[in-house]
Chains A and B, each alone.
Chain A
Amino acid sequence: MSAKPTPPVIDNPWRQLRRFTDARIALGRAGVSVPTQPHLEFQLAHAQARDAVHLPLDAKGLVRRLTAGGYPSLRLRSSAPDRAHYLQRPDLGRRLDRPSRARLEQAFADDSVTFDLAFVIADGLSALAVHHHAVSFLDAITPMLRQEGWSIAPLVLVEQGRVAIGDEVAVVMRAEMVAVLIGERPGLSSPDSLGVYFTYHPHPGCSDAERNCLSNIRQQGLAYAVAAHKLHYLMSAARRRKLSGVNLKDEAETSAESPVIGTGTGNFLTEG
């Protein structure tokens, strides 16, 4: 009798560690390679992320949901005519195309009307994130603001938009601050992560140092209520101090709740 042949897939006896991280550990191996099952799981995750990048924004459906939720909205486009241009020409995604600019100017021609705040929704790198989370996030933040009597501009929805397009929109609307809800670059385990970029006194040419960002708003990430609470905190502080960005962040972070602590038991490699 010959010895029993080694099975082609060699499992790892440390699979129990997977409960401590989303990292793809203890995959096992076929020879030295990733076995078929985890290989195909990776391929699926990448396919989901790729599809999220290229999924067109369902602007019509979103406008319908916004209207039903009590958010009147205006639908606009950036100067990037399609995804290929959007990905290669960040400058085009940062400004409105000419018809959109004209529509916006026409709608807000009366310069006696000003707003405390404008919300802009842009597809960014994941329309999926906008589809999944934009309305729910608005539902979490808006009641807090309405209660305090903030004047909120009609919502603007921009297709093929980047963060900085909110500056142009806010200037035309005469809004003192702008919060851009935008689909973040999809990760393998997070194809639908929503980001919120907040700017006090937005103006064309604003630098990133003048903005505050809330990231990773999604089911397994930052919860709507927590994100809304943080944004409300930032906006209130910005209104008081008349600034946003790096200088505001310092104060906000020390006052915000402590960061998420993992579920683990510390560094088990050296402790215990």
Chain B
Amino acid sequence: MPYRHTLANSVYGFESLKQLLAKASPARSGDQLAGIAADSEQERVAAQMALAEVPLKHFLNEALVPYESDEVTRLIIDDHDTRAFQPVSHLSVGDFRNWLLSDQADESALTGLAPGLVPEMVAAVSKLMRIQDLILVARKCRVVTRFRNTIGLEGRLATRLQPNHPTDDPTGIAASILDGLLYGSGDAVIGINPASDSLTAVTTLMKMLDDIINKYQIPTQSCLLAHVTTHLEAIRRGAPVDLVFQSIAGTEQANASFGINLGLLAEAHQAALALGRGTLGDNVMYFETGQGSALSADAHHDLDQQTCEARAYAVARKFRPLLVNTVVGFIGPEYLFDGKQIIRAGLEDHFCGKLLGLPMGCDVCYTNHAEADQNDMDILLTLLGTAGCNFIMGIPGSDDVMLNYQTTSFHDALYLRRVLGLRPAPEFESWLQQMGIFENGELCGSERALPRPFRRALDRLD
């Protein structure tokens, strides 16, 4: 057994780095379903103690998914920046935790370190961390991205306005957009999950969002959460594509189950860049991820779901995204059973993504068959705000009537901004003030006549 730890009279052995990581993972239903979780609480801690002794360098030598057969592994190894890794290259996983928590690891040190870290190192150290560690370290990281506004600045929290409708009805979607804008939501992106993935439906909605953004001069960007190949075709046909969307995962095989590979993502990235639609910056990609996706595609290679998730961030990192969203509670209780597991997973994902240099946001969410409720979401929301999360979702009354799950509401974002003193992206905040929606960084104090341009739009309906 290459990895072992002795507790009292028991010797715990682990036959591979992969097994050690799985056994060291805080409990979650997905790893149990995969049959790779620790068999007892003591075995879990023994694995964590053995993991703490593993040199970080070792993660560059023992590939968890074979280099030869997995392009994500090749990306991770080939793009590793040895010089950036230097400051921590002599450390073990346990010492790395201490270093991250220490005052040496300030914002500039962590920014410089990001290209020197591989996902497996970051996943490993997260397994030794408590929730307060995940918050404290992530809060020190700063990842700022730009398209038509600036996302990720200190003291800011952006929201994705998610105006989904079960039949993609334009009036219904416009109603939710107006509701969101008047509640100060939409600076990260106005992003629709279309009910239909047909090209006509998708390009119609792209045009609709583009018209709204232009007409009201909103400093934000739009996105249709359709497949990357749909975006490529939409771009070819001249549709107004701001951000290209794709769900991604941490193994080549899991990505194949999504119908994508790195080459296809690179093609889409180039196509979006060529449009040059960003006014402040050229971060043109929006990625979504979530623990359990590799296992659900039976493409996890016996790797634990949190390490698989961190590997997805290596894919994201390659394409300098504007937004990376971990949709933490959407996948269901087979992977994250209850509020406790969802809360921890959301903070792990945010921590791992930030440490790897990604603009992390989180879809703080749950389905009705998970053991979770609004109280759990309030906890995760508040903790993510404390951890410096770049953005969250915004949806009318927390209820997505198209995807049938619950995520954070427009009100939730206002709550978080108020308790933590957070503000929208600066360009968007200025627009909210100009429109008379915000004053002094908050919603206007009382019921008022609607801003005139929106009043006119509503009058047309009467």
Binding site for B on A (CB under 8 A): 6, 10-14, 16-18, 20-27, 29, 31-34, 38, 42-43, 45-46, 49-50, 52-53, 87-91, 125, 185-190, 216, 259-272
Residues of A contacting B447 in the complex (Cβ-Cβ under 8 angstroms): 10-13
Contact present for B399 and A23 (CB under 8 Å): yes
Contact present for B171 and A268 (CB under 8 Å): yes
Given contacts A11-B447, A13-B447, A266-B171, contact A87 B334 (CB under 8 A): yes
Contact present for A46 and B406 (CB under 8 Å): yes
| The one of A16, A42, A267 that contacts B212, using a Cβ cutoff of 8 Å | A267
**Top 3 closest pairs, chain A to chain B, by CB:** A264-B171, A24-B397, A262-B169
Residues of B contacting A27 in the complex (Cβ-Cβ under 8 angstroms): 396-397, 411
Given contacts A38-B397, A265-B171, A269-B457, contact A23 B406 (CB under 8 A): no
* Interchain CA distance A87-B372 in the complex, whole Å: 13
Provide a sorted-by-A list of 8 A–B residue pairs whose CB atoms are within 8 angstroms.
A14-B179, A20-B174, A24-B398, A29-B411, A90-B334, A188-B404, A188-B406, A268-B458
Contact present for B212 and A33 (CB under 8 Å): no
Given contacts A14-B458, A88-B333, A267-B170, contact A23 B404 (CB under 8 A): no
Q: Which residue of B lies closest to A43 (CB)?
A: B374
In the complex, how many residues of chain B place their beta carbon closer than 8 angstroms to a beta carbon of chain A? 62
Contact present for B334 and A262 (CB under 8 Å): no
B196 interface residue (CB < 8 Å to A): yes
| The one of A12, A16, A262, A263 that contacts B182, using a Cβ cutoff of 8 Å | A12
Q: Which residue of A lies closest to B211 (CB)?
A: A270
Residues of A contacting B446 in the complex (Cβ-Cβ under 8 angstroms): 6, 10
B32 interface residue (CB < 8 Å to A): yes
Q: B391-442: which have CB < 8 Å to A?
A: 395-399, 401, 404-406, 409, 411, 414-415, 418, 442
Residue from A16, A29, A53, A262 with most neighbouring chain B CB atoms (10 Å): A262
B245 interface residue (CB < 8 Å to A): no
Given contacts A50-B368, A270-B211, contact A34 B171 (CB under 8 A): no
| The one of B176, B196, B415, B445 that contacts A25, using a Cβ cutoff of 8 Å | B176
14 more contacts with CB within 8 A, not counting A264-B172, A269-B178, are: A6-B446, A22-B166, A23-B397, A25-B178, A32-B415, A42-B374, A42-B397, A46-B374, A188-B401, A262-B169, A267-B174, A268-B457, A269-B457, A270-B208
Residues of B contacting A262 in the complex (Cβ-Cβ under 8 angstroms): 165, 167, 169-172
B294 interface residue (CB < 8 Å to A): no
Q: Which residue of A lies closest to B404 (CB)?
A: A187
Contact present for B212 and A88 (CB under 8 Å): no
Shortest CB–CB separation between residue A15 and chain B, in angstroms? Answer: 10
Residues of B contacting A32 in the complex (Cβ-Cβ under 8 angstroms): 411, 414-415, 418, 442-443
Given contacts A87-B334, A90-B334, A261-B167, contact A185 B460 (CB under 8 A): no
Residues of A contacting B415 in the complex (Cβ-Cβ under 8 angstroms): 32-33
Shortest CB–CB separation between residue B62 and chain A, in angstroms? Answer: 30
Contact present for B170 and A17 (CB under 8 Å): no
Contact present for B333 and A26 (CB under 8 Å): no
B79 interface residue (CB < 8 Å to A): no
| The one of A13, A21, A88, A270 that contacts B449, using a Cβ cutoff of 8 Å | A13
